[in-house]
Amino acid sequence: MEGRIPLLGEKVTEMEVKTTFGLKKLPNDYVGKWLVLFGHPGDFTPVCTTEFVAFQKRFDEFKKLNTELLGLSIDQVQSHIKWVDWIKEKLGVEIQFPIIADGTGKVAEAFGMIHPGKGTNTVREVFIIDDRGILRLMLYYPQEVRRNIDEILRAIKALQTTDKYGVATPAG
């Protein structure tokens, strides 16, 4: 998988990442749980802030699905911490999931998160990784368009249903 973005059905490349909750090993620290890895263009931006608040407001729903959340941008850990503190102070929402500080862009490049026409900012993408570390779904959005949390939850439920019962899920 070196040198290209991962494909659906492939095991996620092992890597150690620096987060607001300390060092994490992908995907090993999440084996046995599903993972939503999502990138955002930058801390303290209006759309990214609304997305983080939206993810946090649905945090318990993700937990009920045995799913962890993990954010990412190329900002540094200190910026992430200040932003999370700002969200708590100004919006009254405490972000309870880690954010990868990908200052080198290594993780973003490994997942194809850097849009060549947008500088070094990451695009808005979502990777759903199953409890065995296998990439199951990818969603990419342009920087200007906010993602839909309902769709992410629906997709996790659909994937878990197909795994459990060996069926395909219909629309909706």
Left, alpha or beta for 57 (phi > 0: left; psi -120 to 50: alpha)?
A: alpha
Beta bridge partners of 37: 70, 127
Helix ranges, the chain (H)? 46-57, 59-64, 77-91, 106-110, 149-165
Is residue 128 within 8 Å of residue 35, measured between CB atoms?
A: yes
Catalytic residues, which ones?
Answer: 48
Beta bridge partners of 36: 69, 128
